[in-house]
Structure 1
Amino acid sequence: MRWTIKPKPEQHEIDRLAAELKVEPLVAQLLLQRGISTYGEAKAFFRPQLSELHDPFLMKDMDAAVGRIEKAIDNEENILVFGDYDVDGTTSVALLSSYLSTYYPNVATYIPDRYTEGYGISYQGIDFAEDNGFSLIIALDCGVKAIDKIAYAKEKGIDFIICDHHRPGETLPEAVAVLDPKRDDCSYPYKELCGCGVGFKLVQALGSRRGQTTNDLMSYLDLVATAIGADIVPITGENRILAYYGLRVMNTDPRTGFKAIIDQIKKDELTITDVVFIIAPRINAAGRMEHGRHAVNLLMETDYEQAVAFAKSIEQFNTDRRTLDQEITEEALIQIRENGEENRFTSVVYKDHWHKGVIGIVASRLTETYYRPTLVFTKSGEKLAASARSVSGFDVYNALMDCSDCIEQFGGHKYAAGLTLLEEQFEAFKSQFEKVVSETIDPTLLIPEIKVDAVIDFKDLRPRLMRIIKQFAPFGPGNMTPVFMAENLMDTGYAKGVGEDEKHLKVSVKQNGIGPIGGIGFNLGDKLGVVSNKKRFSAVFCLDENEWQGQISLQLKLKDVRS
C-alpha cells in the first residue's frame, strides 16, 4: 500500500478558520482539505438545507419536459416510466412513477430484462409501449446515447423524455427533452447528480407547478440517498443535501419497502455505508438474479405484509448472488494463475457460462486482488458481454474508446463500464486493451493508495474530535471519512489475530505513554508480526467508536500498519 499524505493547508489559513469557527486546528485543516474555507461554507457543510437545492428549471430542457408531461396528463395519455435494472434505475422508476401516481392514474413502469434486452432503452420496451397504447416514455438513468432507439420510437408516434447523468455522445437523441447536467450546453450548477437525482429534479419541477415545496417531497429522498450511495457519485454540493435528508427519512420514516428490509436485517440506524453495503446489494440482486421489476415492486409497495414477502424474495436473490459471485471469482482467479497472467497490466477473463448478473461484482473482486483495470466477460446471446472496473486515477472508459475498433458497443464511467463484442474479437480486444493500458497508465496507480488527511498524535484524540468528525457524515467520494497517520506506536502486549482463520488484527496501543487505545484492522491479520513483541510501528486509521457493556470508547479502525 502507498501512504500518501495530503498537502497541509497554510498554517495561517488553518489558524484563521479555527478561530472563526471556534474549533481545533485539526478540524479546520480537515475542512480546508475539503474546500471549505469560510464560516458560511462550514455552516452549509455541517447543516445542509433543502432550501439550498438549485432551481430545477436551471437544467436544460426542464421546461420542455414538464410541459410535455402536463400535456400528457391534460390529454389523458398513457405514460410509461422506463429505467435501468440497477439500483439507480429502479429507485428512479419507483420515485417518478409513485409521484405521478399520486395525482394521475395512467402511469405504468417498465424495467428491461438484463439478459434478453440488456442495458438501457430497448426496442422491446418501445414495442411494448406501442402495443399497450403509451404515447410518452420517460427514461431514467439511461437514454442519452440511444439515438437510433429514440428515432425508432418517434416513427411509432411515441415521445421520449430522457433523464440521464451519463456522458452524452457528440449527438443527442431527438427526444422532447434531454435532462442531463453533463450536456455541454447545460448550465445547471451541479454536474454530479445520479440518475435518481435527475429524476428528483424533474419531480421537484413538476411539484413546483402544483404549489409543492421541496419539504413536501421529502418522503422521496430515501430513494435518492440509496441511489447516491449505490452509484458512487460524489457526496458534495447538492448530493450531500439529498443524501443527508434521505438518510434522515430512511432512519425516521422510511417507505414501506425499505422498512421491510431494515426490519429483516435488524439495523437500528443506517449510515450511507450501510446503504451501500446492505440496502443497495439487495435492491441490485433482483435485477442480477431474476428481474429488476421485483425491486420496483418492493420500493413502491405500501402494504407492509406484502412488502415483507417481497423483501424475503429479494433476500433469497441476494443469497444466491453471493454464492455465485464467490464461485465465479474463484474460477476467474484460477484462470489468471493458469494463464500465467499475474504480472500483466490488466485482468481480462472469460467463460461462457458465467452469470451475467454478477460479472460486475466479480470484476470488483479481481480488482481488489490484483489492483489493475479488469474486465470479466461472459456469453450473452450471440455476443460476449463484459463489465469493466478500474483503479483509482485511471479512466477505463477512455481506454475502451482506444479499443473501440474491437468493440460492438460500450458505455459507462471513468471507473466502471460495460461493453459487448463478437466472440471472434475477444483475443484481439484482450491484446489491445493490455497494450493501451500498459502504454498509458502511471505504474504507481497499480499500487493501492491510502490517502492520509493528517499526521496526528494521540494527545489530539479527544472525544470532542470524534463528535465533530461524526458530523462530517454522510461520507463518500469528495468527502471521505478522515484518515489519520500516527507514528512511534507500541502495542501493550495484547496484539492478536481474531476472527475466522485469525484474518483480522486486534491491538491495544500507546504512543509516548498516552493510551492505551484499542484498534481493529480487518483483513490485517498477516501484519501481526509487525506489531507484536512491543515493536515500534506506524499506522493509518480512521476513528471509530466501540460499544462494550454500555460503555463507548474511542477505537482505531486500522487501514494499514508498517514497521
Structure 2
Amino acid sequence: MRWTLKPEPNPETVAKLAAELNVDALIAKLLVQRGIATFDEARKFFRPSLEDLHDPYLMKDMDKAVERVEKAIANKENILVFGDYDVDGTTAVSLMSSYLRSFYPNVATYIPDRYTEGYGVSYQGIDFADDNGFSLIIALDCGVKSIDHVAYAKAKNIDFIICDHHRPGDKLPDAVAVLDPKRDDCSYPYDELCGCGVGFKLIQALAQNRNQTTNDLIPYLDLVATAIAADIVPITGENRVLAKFGLEVINTNPRPGIKALIQNLKRQTLTITDVVFVIAPRINAAGRIKHGNYAVELLTEFDLEQASAFASQIETFNADRRAFDKEITEQALQQIIENKEQDRYTTVVYQEDWHKGVIGIVASRLTETYYRPTLVFTKSGDKLAASARSVKDFDVYNALEACAEHLEQFGGHMYAAGMTLKEENYEKFKDAFERVVSETIHPDMLTPEITIDAEVHLSEITPKFFRILKQFEPFGPQNMTPIFLTGVLTDTGYAKRIGANEEHLKLYVKQSDSDSFSAIGFGLGDKIELVTRKQSFAAAFSVEENEWNGTVSLQLRLRDIKND
C-alpha cells in the first residue's frame, strides 16, 4: 500500500472556519479538504435541506419534456418508460412509472434484455412500443447517444424524452427533450446526478406543474438514494441532499420492495455502505442472472406479501450470482498462475463458458488481487465479450482506444468499460493491450493507494469528535470516510489473528499516555509480526463504533499498518 497524505489546506482558512463553527482545527481541516470553507457552506453540509434542491426548470429542455408528458396525458396516449438493466436504470424506471401511475393509468415499463439486446435503447424495444400503441418513450439512464434509434422511432411516429447523465457525443438525438446536465449547452448548476437523479428532476418539474411540493416526492427518494449509492456518483451538492433524505426513507418507511430486501438484516440503521453492499447487488442480480424486469416488479409492488415473494426470487438470483462470481474468480486466478502472468502490467483472462452477467464483478475481484488494469472475456454468440476494470488514475478507455484496430466495438469510461472482438483477434489484442499499458502506466499506479486526510494523536479521538464526524455522512466519492494516520503506536499485548482462516488482526493500541483503543484490521492477519514484542508501528485507520455486550465504544478500523 502507498500512503499518501492529502495536501495541507490553507491554515488561515482552517483557523477562521474553526472559530466560526466553534469546532477544533481537525474538524475544520476535514471540512476545508472537502471544499467547505465558510459558515454558510458548512451549514448546508451539516444540515442538508430539500429546499437546497435546484429548480428542475434550470435544466435544458425541461419545459419541453413536461409539456410533452402533459400532452400525452391530455390525449390519453400510451407512455413507455424505458431504462437500462442495472441498478440506476431499474430504479429510474420504477421511480418514473410509479409516479406517473399515481395519476395516470396508461403507463408501461420496458427493460432491455442484457444478453439479446445489450445496453441502452434497443430497436427491439422501439418495435415493442410500435406494436403495442405507445407514442411516447421516456428513456432513463441511457439514450443520449442513441441518434439512430431515436430517428428509427420518429419514423414510426414515436417521440422520445431522454433522461441521461452520460456525456453526450458531438450530436444529440432528435428527441422532444434531452435532459442531461452534462450537455455543453445546459447550465444546470449540478452535473453529477445519476440517471435516476435526472428522472427525479423530471418528476419534480411535473409535480410543480401539478401544484405538488417536493415533500410530496419524499416517498420516491429511497429509489434515488439506492441509485446514487450503486452508481458511485459524488456524494456532494444535490446528490448529498437526495442521498441523506433517501436514506431516511429507507430506514423509516421504505417501499415494500426495499423493505422486503432488508427485513432480515440485523442492522438498526442502514448506511450508504449497506445500500452498496446489500440492496444494490440484489437489484443488480436480476439483470445479471435473469432479467431486469424482476427488479422493476419488486420496486413497484405496493403489497408487502407480493413484494416479499419477488424479493425471495431475487435472493435466489443473488445466490446464483455469488456462486458464479466465486467459481469464475477462482478459475481466473488459477489461469493467471498456470500461465505465469502475475508479473505482467495487465490481467487478461478468457474462458468461453464464463457467465456474461458476472464478468464485470470478476474483473473487479482480479483488480483487487493483482492491482492491474483487468479484462475478463467470455464467449458471446460468435464473438468474445469482455468487461474491463482499471486502477486509480489509469484511463482504461484510452488504452482500449489505442487497441481499437483489434476490437469490433467498445465503450465505457476511465475506470470501467466493455468490448467485443473476433476470437481470432484475442491474442493480438491481448499483446497490444499489454504493450499500451506498459508504455503508458506510471509504476506507482500498480500499487494500491491509501489517501490519508490527517495525522492525529489518539487523544484527539474523543466521543465528541466522533459525534461531529458522524454528521459528515452520508459518505461516498468526494466525501469519503476520513482516514487518519497515527505513528508511534504499540499493542498492549493482546494482538491476535482472528477469523476462520486467521486472516484478520485484532489488537488494542496505545500511543504514549493515551487511552487504549480496540482496533480491527480485516485482511491484515499476516501483519501480526509488526505489532508483537512491543514494537512501535504506524497505522492508517478510520474511526467507527463497536458494540459488544451492550456497550458501545470507539474502535479503529485499520486500513494498513507498517513499521515506524
Name the amino acid aligned to 1:121: V
Name the amino acid aligned to 1:144: V
What does the per-residue CA deviation read over 1:184-220, in whole Å, with 9 as the maximum and x for residues that have no partner? 1211111111110011011111111111121111111
Partner Cα separation in structure 1 for residue 411 and residue 213 of structure 2 = 36
**Residues 210-289 of structure 1: matches in 2 within 5 Å?**
210-289=210-289
Partner Cα separation in structure 2 for residue 457 and residue 375 of structure 1 = 42
Post-superposition offset of 1:152 = 1.6
Partner Cα separation in structure 2 for residue 408 and residue 176 of structure 1 = 32
1:481 equivalent to 2:481? Answer: yes
Post-superposition offset of 1:28 = 0.4
**DSSP-derived class of the 2:475 partner:** coil
**Residues 428-443 of structure 1: matches in 2 within 5 Å?**
428-443=428-443
Aligned to 1:34: 34
Partner Cα separation in structure 1 for residue 114 and residue 190 of structure 2 = 30
Post-superposition offset of 1:8 = 1.4
**Paired residues of 1:166 and 1:412 also in contact (CA < 8 A):** no
Aligned to 2:86: 86
Post-superposition offset of 1:393 = 1.2
What does the per-residue CA deviation read over 1:363-396, in whole Å, with 9 as the maximum and x for residues that have no partner? 1000000111111111112222211111111222
Partner Cα separation in structure 2 for residue 307 and residue 562 of structure 1 = 49
Structure 2, unaligned stretches of length 5 or more?
A: none
Give the 3 Å change call, closer, same or farther, for CA 143–67 of structure 1 in structure 2: same
Aligned to 1:8: 8
Partner Cα separation in structure 1 for residue 330 and residue 61 of structure 2 = 47
**DSSP-derived class of the 2:516 partner:** strand
Aligned to 2:380: 380
**DSSP-derived class of the 2:152 partner:** helix
Aligned to 2:69: 69
Name the amino acid aligned to 2:395: D
**DSSP-derived class of the 1:161 partner:** strand
Name the amino acid aligned to 1:224: V
**Residues 307-456 of structure 1: matches in 2 within 5 Å?**
307-456=307-456
Partner Cα separation in structure 2 for residue 57 and residue 442 of structure 1 = 44
Post-superposition offset of 1:17 = 1.0
Aligned to 2:546: 546
**DSSP-derived class of the 1:387 partner:** strand
Post-superposition offset of 1:122 = 1.1
**Paired residues of 1:256 and 1:304 also in contact (CA < 8 A):** yes
**Paired residues of 1:346 and 1:373 also in contact (CA < 8 A):** yes
1:297 equivalent to 2:297? Answer: yes
**DSSP-derived class of the 2:353 partner:** coil
Partner Cα separation in structure 2 for residue 370 and residue 541 of structure 1 = 22
**DSSP-derived class of the 2:269 partner:** coil
Name the amino acid aligned to 2:121: I
Partner Cα separation in structure 1 for residue 49 and residue 178 of structure 2 = 28
Name the amino acid aligned to 1:80: L
What does the per-residue CA deviation read over 1:311-362, in whole Å, with 9 as the maximum and x for residues that have no partner? 1111111111111101001111112222222112211211111101101100
Name the amino acid aligned to 2:285: A
Partner Cα separation in structure 1 for residue 340 and residue 101 of structure 2 = 56
**Residues 496-511 of structure 1: matches in 2 within 5 Å?**
496-511=496-511
Report the aligned-residue RMSD. Answer: 1.1
Post-superposition offset of 1:423 = 2.1
Partner Cα separation in structure 1 for residue 201 and residue 517 of structure 2 = 46
Aligned to 2:207: 207
**DSSP-derived class of the 2:81 partner:** strand
Post-superposition offset of 1:74 = 1.3
Moved over 3 A (4+): none
Give the 3 Å change call, closer, same or farther, for CA 327–163 of structure 1 in structure 2: same
Partner Cα separation in structure 2 for residue 441 and residue 170 of structure 1 = 29
Post-superposition offset of 1:433 = 2.0
Name the amino acid aligned to 1:213: T
Give the 3 Å change call, closer, same or farther, for CA 169–429 of structure 1 in structure 2: farther
Give the 3 Å change call, closer, same or farther, for CA 233–129 of structure 1 in structure 2: same
Post-superposition offset of 1:87 = 0.4
What does the per-residue CA deviation read over 1:297-321, in whole Å, with 9 as the maximum and x for residues that have no partner? 0000000100111111111111111
Partner Cα separation in structure 1 for residue 278 and residue 307 of structure 2 = 17
Aligned to 1:133: 133
Aligned to 2:147: 147
Q: Percent identity?
A: 69
Post-superposition offset of 1:461 = 1.1
Structure 1, unaligned stretches of length 5 or more?
A: none
Partner Cα separation in structure 2 for residue 88 and residue 178 of structure 1 = 18
Partner Cα separation in structure 1 for residue 95 and residue 109 of structure 2 = 11
Partner Cα separation in structure 2 for residue 444 and residue 266 of structure 1 = 41
What does the per-residue CA deviation read over 1:139-198, in whole Å, with 9 as the maximum and x for residues that have no partner? 111111122222221222211111111121222222111111111121111111111001
Structure 1 length-normalised TM? 0.98
Name the amino acid aligned to 1:357: G
Partner Cα separation in structure 1 for residue 123 and residue 406 of structure 2 = 24
Aligned to 1:97: 97
Post-superposition offset of 1:411 = 2.3
Query: Which stretch of the first structure deviates more once superposed, 167-176 or 447-456?
Result: 167-176
Post-superposition offset of 1:456 = 0.5
**DSSP-derived class of the 2:121 partner:** coil
Partner Cα separation in structure 2 for residue 167 and residue 298 of structure 1 = 30
Name the amino acid aligned to 1:293: N
Name the amino acid aligned to 1:111: I
Query: Which stretch of the first structure deviates more once superposed, 280-289 or 258-267?
Result: 258-267
Q: How many residues end up aligned between the 2 structures?
A: 563
Partner Cα separation in structure 2 for residue 10 and residue 265 of structure 1 = 44
1:519 equivalent to 2:502? Answer: no
Aligned to 1:184: 184
Name the amino acid aligned to 1:36: I
**Paired residues of 1:193 and 1:233 also in contact (CA < 8 A):** yes
Name the amino acid aligned to 1:146: S
Partner Cα separation in structure 2 for residue 117 and residue 19 of structure 1 = 58
Partner Cα separation in structure 1 for residue 162 and residue 400 of structure 2 = 25
Post-superposition offset of 1:436 = 2.2
**DSSP-derived class of the 2:166 partner:** coil
**Paired residues of 1:225 and 1:246 also in contact (CA < 8 A):** yes
Aligned to 1:21: 21
What does the per-residue CA deviation read over 1:417-463, in whole Å, with 9 as the maximum and x for residues that have no partner? 22222223322322222222222222211110000000000111111
What does the per-residue CA deviation read over 1:67-102, in whole Å, with 9 as the maximum and x for residues that have no partner? 111111111111110111110000000000000001
Structure 2 length-normalised TM? 0.98
Query: Which stretch of the first structure deviates more once superposed, 424-433 or 142-151?
Result: 424-433
**Paired residues of 1:166 and 1:413 also in contact (CA < 8 A):** no
**Paired residues of 1:504 and 1:524 also in contact (CA < 8 A):** yes
**DSSP-derived class of the 2:264 partner:** helix
**DSSP-derived class of the 1:507 partner:** strand
Partner Cα separation in structure 1 for residue 95 and residue 347 of structure 2 = 37
